[in-house]
Chain A
Amino acid sequence: MAVKVLVGTKKGLFVLSGDAERRSWEVEGPLLTGFSVYHAIRDPRDGALYAATNFFGGGTVHRSTDNGATWERAEELGLPEDGELKLNATWHVEPGSNGELWLGGDPGVLFRSDDKGVTWQVNEPLLNHETRDQWNPGAGGMCLHSINVDADDPNKLVIGISAAGVFRTDDGGQTWEPANKGTSADFLPDNQPEVGQCVHKVLVHPLNRDRIWQQNHCGVYRSDDRGTTWERLDGNGLPSDFGFALMLDPRDQDAAFTIPEESAMNRVASGGRLGVWRTRDGGASWDVLTNGLPQQAWVGVLREASAWDGLEPNGLYFGTQSGSVLASPDGGETWHEAARWLPPVLSVETAEWP
């Protein structure tokens, strides 16, 4: 088995294949030429690849059962004909824990597929959520970009929408509860609203599903009660409260990795010094990892463009808008450039296949 890095770009999908040490990479692609690949993922249950693809013909989902050699498009993906909203873009595909698939899209919508991505049904309770009139799109649209499915209970999900916030369900999506208490929305008159927060990425830790990490437009947060309350962490040594990337260590719930950017007004590495900031104490303190990263790089990393492989040691990966993919096979201690001169990187995921 080899580690693969699925790199979704503005101009197609690239697949990076690593050697045994995860230090040398072969680049295949572009696949899905002509499409912007907002996110691509491999379903570990059957090996199928899914890509959230967008182009002049709208947003759709492509599926491949031959590792990307051929692709099939979902049928008639869209919002209800009799509604006011239209599907603006597809953002994130997530395999569920009971055979189902989930798809997040713009305008803050969630779909479910029970036939391996051929057809998708919109989640009506979220589409018609009572707080929707308080949601607003961010620069990337009103994207539903984070989908966390409980590995033991497929009815439990935690999702993130920009700029609506974090929502959770315990009943498979029949009801959605906002989970934003204590997170800031400094761009609103009331900066602690029930909803309207611009969450950039939200990740539930696989070891402890009550522990959730969040990189927000306004801060980095940790929750220990599945989003009921949040503790703000960026004041504990991070150079900025702003950023998109967020990575975890599946064997250490106290560890998290962010790539702070200067500010909402200047979305590049803080001070032009690209670094991955790590905490190993739940966010009480942070240290910066730069070994192998460029001394100066005015680059940005988008919300879907970071991932980890979960191997021992944990491999970390992120892609830049300038078309580089950076990899660390040792939990962030050392970094190298796995690919360069790709189109702007929109998303990074990892997978394994021969």
Chain B
Amino acid sequence: MAVVRLPALLAQEAGGQREFDVDAQTLRDALRSLPVRDLCLDEHGELRRLVNVFVDGQDVRGADELDTPLRADSKVLVVAAIAGG
């Protein structure tokens, strides 16, 4: 199972759970399985502008994005973009 780790505020919105074991072939499927999927993906199913995701240490934006394949032991790190004041 891949593991998705959320930043603190998303974990709070997910009922306090920070890490999720997900059975998913792609990043899209992994994020869709989360209780905070609506905070990671917008209504068009796209990654929110200020949400960044690293799969096994690689930034998915500009690469395979939501089509990024996951291995059984992949580590998915969701982080808030460096933005705002």
Which chain A residues have a beta carbon within 8 Å of chain B's beta carbons? 10, 34-35, 55-58, 60, 73, 75-81, 86-87
Q: Which of B14-31 contact A (CB under 8 A)?
A: none
Segment of B43-51, B59-67, B69-77 in the binding face: B43-51
A56 vs B38: C-alpha distance in the bound complex, in angstroms? 12
Residues of chain B within 8 A (CB-CB) of A56 are 9, 48, 50-51, 80-81, 83-84
Residues of chain B within 8 A (CB-CB) of A10 are 85
Interface residues on B, range: 20 to 34
Residues of chain A within 8 A (CB-CB) of B45 are 81
Q: Is the CB of B43 within 8 A of A81?
A: yes
Residue of B39, B42, B43, B44 contacting most chain A CB atoms (<10 Å): B43
Q: How far is the CB of A198 from chain B (nearest CB, A)?
A: 24
Q: How far is the CB of B43 from chain A (nearest CB, A)?
A: 3
Residues of chain A within 8 A (CB-CB) of B12 are 34
Q: Is the CB of B9 within 8 A of A78?
A: no
Q: Which residue of B lies closest to A76 (CB)?
A: B38
Q: Is the CB of A34 within 8 A of B9?
A: yes
At the interface, yes or no: B10 with Cβ under 8 Å from chain A?
A: yes
In the A-B complex, the 8 residue pairs with the closest CB atoms:
A78-B43, A57-B39, A56-B50, A56-B80, A34-B9, A76-B38, A79-B43, A86-B42
Residues of chain B within 8 A (CB-CB) of A87 are 42-43
Q: Which residue of A lies closest to B10 (CB)?
A: A57
At the interface, yes or no: B2 with Cβ under 8 Å from chain A?
A: no
A80 vs B43: C-alpha distance in the bound complex, in angstroms? 7
Q: Is the CB of A78 within 8 A of B42?
A: yes
A75 vs B13: C-alpha distance in the bound complex, in angstroms? 11
Residues of chain A within 8 A (CB-CB) of B48 are 56-58
Which chain B residues have a beta carbon within 8 Å of chain A's beta carbons? 8-10, 12-13, 36, 38-40, 42-45, 48, 50-51, 80-81, 83-85
Residues of chain B within 8 A (CB-CB) of A81 are 43-45
Residues of chain A within 8 A (CB-CB) of B50 are 56-57
A280 vs B10: C-alpha distance in the bound complex, in angstroms? 49
Q: Which of A55, A57, A77, A86 contacts B40 (CB 8 A)?
A: A57
Q: Which residue of B lies closest to A36 (CB)?
A: B84
A10 vs B84: C-alpha distance in the bound complex, in angstroms? 10
A101 vs B9: C-alpha distance in the bound complex, in angstroms? 26
A76 vs B39: C-alpha distance in the bound complex, in angstroms? 8
Q: Is the CB of B38 within 8 A of A77?
A: yes
A76 vs B38: C-alpha distance in the bound complex, in angstroms? 6
Residues of chain A within 8 A (CB-CB) of B44 are 81, 86
Q: Is the CB of B43 within 8 A of A57?
A: no
A78 vs B84: C-alpha distance in the bound complex, in angstroms? 22
Q: Which residue of A lies closest to B8 (CB)?
A: A34
A87 vs B41: C-alpha distance in the bound complex, in angstroms? 12
Q: How far is the CB of A312 from chain B (nearest CB, A)?
A: 41
Q: Which residue of A lies closest to B84 (CB)?
A: A56
Residues of chain A within 8 A (CB-CB) of B42 are 58, 78, 86-87
Q: How far is the CB of B19 from chain A (nearest CB, A)?
A: 18
Residues of chain B within 8 A (CB-CB) of A58 are 38-39, 42, 48
A81 vs B38: C-alpha distance in the bound complex, in angstroms? 12
A331 vs B39: C-alpha distance in the bound complex, in angstroms? 42
A34 vs B6: C-alpha distance in the bound complex, in angstroms? 15
Q: Is the CB of B36 within 8 A of A57?
A: yes
Q: Which residue of A lies closest to B78 (CB)?
A: A57
Q: Which residue of B lies closest to A34 (CB)?
A: B9
Residue of A55, A58, A78 contacting most chain B CB atoms (<10 Å): A58
A9 vs B20: C-alpha distance in the bound complex, in angstroms? 32
Q: How far is the CB of A308 from chain B (nearest CB, A)?
A: 30
Q: Is the CB of A75 within 8 A of B9?
A: no
Q: How far is the CB of A30 from chain B (nearest CB, A)?
A: 13
Q: Known interface pairs A55-B9, A56-B50, A57-B10. Does A78 touch B38 (Cβ–Cβ under 8 Å)?
A: yes
Q: How far is the CB of A241 from chain B (nearest CB, A)?
A: 29
A38 vs B9: C-alpha distance in the bound complex, in angstroms? 18
Q: How far is the CB of A6 from chain B (nearest CB, A)?
A: 21
